[in-house]
């Protein structure tokens, strides 16, 4: 692996140590060299199958992905502090800009609400796009631990759904929530609030686009921020527009 410019302030020493902890627990594949200065990583060749986004529509492959995640979250691993989604979001947001300031304030409200609900500290991967799930000799592994850190598993689950567009696949979101055991109202509330955090963070990345948007994005987004599973108190059409822009 030849890394880029490390825009998210990744701690490569923590990444290396967390990768070794994941390896000791059978969660990832081994490497030969990891240079903490450059971030260059070299491993032997493994004849692997790499997931793609469509694979999460397969019951078996989705089950295998959930099992490796559950193995991580239920392990006794204690990762070194490496990457906090909110800390990085804070550093990216430009508080002098109205829209980004609104995004930052909504982010703070979301984190405050999650803190009131209760956040756990468990080992998390925090970059769960499809290509970081691989199959080798009929076993599923996670690779690329550069964002790994202690955190709440709900952030991992929200990231998994977000990066692999579970909401856009007919019925997949609710099926997957049931499969991972998020079935009662409190669990779903925490998940959807966490999921909203990822949507809100995109405001900092799409600012130039949103400047030209015809709707009052920041105001409407705030109204949608705590909409849980289609609450009657929020206009669904307005929320649909918000999520369509993201």
Average pLDDT over residues 168-174: 91
pLDDT mean across residues, the chain: 83
Query: Percent of the chain beyond pLDDT 90?
Result: 57
At 64-89, the pLDDT tens digits run 999 999 999 999 999 998 667 777 66
**Is residue 149 within a helix (H) or strand (E), and if so which, with residue range?**
strand 149-151
Residue 150 has pLDDT above 80, yes or no: yes
At 2-53, the pLDDT tens digits run 887 655 568 899 999 999 999 999 999 999 999 998 889 999 999 999 999 9
At 207-236, the pLDDT tens digits run 534 454 545 555 555 555 544 444 444 444
pTM of the model: 0.81
Q: Are 27 and 142 in contact (CB under 8 A)?
A: yes
Nearest to 80 by CA among 126, 11, 8: 11
pLDDT of res. 81:
84
Alpha helices (H) along the chain: 12-24, 59-73, 85-92, 98-117, 153-163, 172-179, 185-201, 207-211, 217-224, 236-245
At 83-131, the pLDDT tens digits run 677 776 677 666 777 767 777 788 888 888 988 999 999 999 999 999 9
């Amino acid at each position: 692996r030849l890394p880029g410019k490390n825009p998210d302030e990744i701690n490569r020493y923590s990444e290396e140590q967390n990768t070794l902890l994941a390896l000791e627990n059978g969660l990832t594949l081994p490497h030969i060299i990891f240079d903490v200065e450059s971030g260059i990583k070299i491993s032997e060749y493994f004849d692997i199958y790499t997931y793609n986004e469509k694979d999460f529509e397969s019951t078996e492959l989705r089950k295998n992905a959930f099992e490796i995640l559950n193995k991580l979250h239920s392990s006794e691993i204690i990762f070194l502090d490496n990457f906090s989604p909110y800390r990085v979001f804070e550093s990216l947001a430009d508080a002098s800009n109205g829209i980004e300031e609104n995004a930052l304030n909504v982010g703070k409200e979301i984190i405050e609400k999650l803190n009131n609900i209760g956040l756990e500290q468990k080992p998390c991967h925090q970059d769960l796009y499809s290509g970081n799930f691989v199959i080798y000799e009929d076993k599923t592994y996670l690779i690329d631990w550069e964002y790994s850190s202690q955190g709440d598993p709900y952030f991992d689950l929200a990231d998994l759904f977000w990066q692999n567009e579970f909401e856009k696949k007919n019925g997949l979101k609710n099926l997957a929530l049931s499969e991972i055991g998020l079935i009662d109202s409190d669990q779903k509330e925490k998940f959807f609030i966490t999921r909203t955090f990822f949507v809100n963070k995109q405001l900092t990345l799409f600012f130039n686009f949103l400047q030209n948007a015809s709707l009052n994005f920041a105001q409407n987004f705030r109204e949608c921020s705590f909409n849980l599973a289609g609450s009657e108190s929020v206009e669904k059409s307005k929320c649909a527009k918000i999520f369509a822009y993201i």
